[in-house]
A and B are shown apart, each in its own frame.
Chain A
Amino acid sequence: MAATVNTRRLARAMLTPAVVILFIWMIVPLVLTLWYSFQNYSLLNPANVGFAGWTNYQYFLTDPAFFQAFANTLILTLSVLAITVIGGILLGLLLDQFIYGQGIVRILVISPFFIMPTVAALVWKNMLMNPNYGIFAWIATSLGMQPVAWLETYPLFSIILIVAWQWLPFATLILLTALQSLDEEQKEAAGMDGAGFASLFVYITLPHLARAITVVILIETIFLLSVFAEILVTTGGGPGYATTNIAYLIYHLALLDYDVGGASAGGVVAVILANIVAIFLVRLVGKNLEA
């Protein structure tokens, strides 16, 4: 708790490297991004350089692709959050029961979390979702239905499915851990009070899970806002812009179109949007982590 001046001085000295490194890591690229975003700077057109004013922003923000990317980012993030949190609670409740071979079940369930995103995306794209030879196609034919070309017909939904598969294990295990810390006596007391399964869940279990759910939302949001590899190796953002999120759009501008100015303007917009989310989330979590 309290400490001496000596310890505090040492403590400050020991904290400084981390803070300075992170500060530089945050501020230098940010300033540069800001600066480039007001420049004409295209690697394809080296002659045209100089101050661009708000042109880059104008282009970026009025580009229909931006709106679609914005919408896609939101849909992707929110859908995956919804699937993983709801699915995680259900699965957590299931795994909290007595199960033979619980240890192995846990390992099987957590496994997708450890899979490299590029691998996950490629495996799903080819071996599961391929309309000719994929497992889904085989299931469809077995049930007498037409196989679906998932990534062409439902591109965004397919991406959501892949990403949700990667994050469901994480949500499940965190929520399971939280469930296991729920006092058995509390449940029994509620049972004595005549609470059925539904009211037990609503009045006891769910409030107990609030903290864990907050954490799941925070961590997943950090990663979901910047889903990239899954899109790169499956759809490349297409068809059209159907699966382009903001991360992928900026990547496209910068490293495929070589429009540094435009990409930087996009970057600034992305940072602003992320900050709005961050402020909201950090507050939420800060409050929840206090106790």
Chain B
Amino acid sequence: MGKIVLQGVEKHFGDVKVISNVDLTVEDGAFVVFVGPSGCGKSTLLRLIAGLEDVTGGRILIDGVDVTDLPPMKRGLSMVFQSYALYPHMSVRGNIGFGLKMAGLPKDEIARKVEAAAATLNLTQYLDRKPRQLSGGQRQRVAIGRAIVREPKGFLFDEPLSNLDAALRVNMRIEIARLQKALATTAIYVTHDQVEAMTMADKIVVLNAGRVEQVGSPLELYDRPDNLFVAGFIGSPKMNLVGGRIAEGYGAATVGIRPEHLLVGREGDGWRGTISVAEHLGSDTFLYVDVKDVGLVTVRTQGEAGLRTGDSVVLRPDPARLHRFDRDGRAIRAA
């Protein structure tokens, strides 16, 4: 229960095309993340699926039923908003139970389900508090509780973690992923944070300017980006992209190499440059190396490499890990 299919979905605001021709299948029980830079249309796409906006063209199917013209309440999805959108005048109990109350469930059943959801989320002792008496993380859990209690066909998350501080974000990330697996409910999760996307998703949809750039598992996107955009967007620190003569040497318009796939040496063949900044993080060291004809190249090495700002180094890309792109930015794959 909970297969979501988009067929040729389009959304225009006036003359502006926000979403163009998106085809996508979200399998039942999958955790799909929409990721992209701000303004890429990922939130709009989510709202189209939710039914909070109308599509301009195309169809949306949930479990084979065309829901394109159905209002949100009839689609059987639930949503967690970026702002949590808790009802400020209701207690936690009221917030979580509101959807059940709207569905006309008997009081004792509502109470039972709310208690159960609250127990799952460690909210039991807060059930009678108002949202303003809760911390950010607790509010977040109430919003999630409100979403799961209705046992929907799918969860929609709209950047749910962006208002939390960094430590809490990691915890919630794990908690959401765990919960989704336990419930085995389809989830669509929107974020601009590619770390969230990589860690949580079964499948990532990379969006740019209203178009789908690539769909695939996190590792597929990391290992085999279809184009320059995905190559540059997925991975942190970002992939180094190099054009010009060096790229021509590999028979491409642009070549890309991830910071972790560059070997650093003092001597030998390769790209010779000077370290302009060295960031020592303990486990890793990030080097920003100024290479002639190439520019600033980011390198990630393990541990303390004994390298300092101003040192002269040679960088050797791992040929197996080199990505080649043609003039249009599309990946060139070895046949």
Q: Report A's interface with B, CB cutoff 8 A.
A: 2-6
Contacts and interface: CB of A to CB of B under 8 A. Distances in A.
Interface in B49-94: 51-54, 71
Chain B's interface size range is under 10
Contacts of A6: 71
Given A4-B52, A4-B53, 9 more contacts: A2-B13, A2-B53, A3-B52, A3-B53, A4-B51, A4-B54, A4-B71, A5-B54, A6-B71
B47 to A, nearest CB: 8
A4 B52 CA distance: 6
A2 B54 CA distance: 9
A5 B13 CA distance: 13
Which applies to chain B's interface (DSSP): helix, strand, loop or mixed?
loop
Interface string B1-33: 000000000000100000000000000000000
A6 B52 CA distance: 10
Contacts of A2: 13, 53
For the complex of A and B, the 9 pairs showing the least CB-CB separation, nearest first, are A4-B54, A5-B54, A6-B71, A2-B53, A4-B53, A2-B13, A4-B51, A4-B52, A4-B71
A138 B50 CA distance: 75
Interface string B283-306: 000000000000000000000000
A6 B13 CA distance: 16
A2 B71 CA distance: 14
A2 B19 CA distance: 15
Contacts of A3: 52-53
11 contacts: A2-B13, A2-B53, A3-B52, A3-B53, A4-B51, A4-B52, A4-B53, A4-B54, A4-B71, A5-B54, A6-B71
A206 to B, nearest CB: 37
Contacts of A5: 54
A3 B53 CA distance: 5
Which of A2, A4, A5: most chain B Cβ within 10 A? Answer: A4
A154 B157 CA distance: 71
A189 B11 CA distance: 48
A4 B13 CA distance: 12
Contacts of B53: 2-4
Nearest to B11: A2
A135 B54 CA distance: 69
Interface string B154-172: 0000000000000000000
A6 B54 CA distance: 9
Nearest to B48: A4
Nearest to B50: A4
A2 to B, nearest CB: 6
A4 B51 CA distance: 8
A5 B323 CA distance: 46
Nearest to B13: A2
A2 B53 CA distance: 7
A79 to B, nearest CB: 46
A3 B51 CA distance: 9
A211 B26 CA distance: 51
Contacts of B54: 4-5
Nearest to A8: B54
Contacts of B13: 2
A33 B64 CA distance: 63
B72 to A, nearest CB: 8
Nearest to A4: B54
B14 to A, nearest CB: 10
Nearest to A2: B53
A11 to B, nearest CB: 14
A2 B52 CA distance: 8
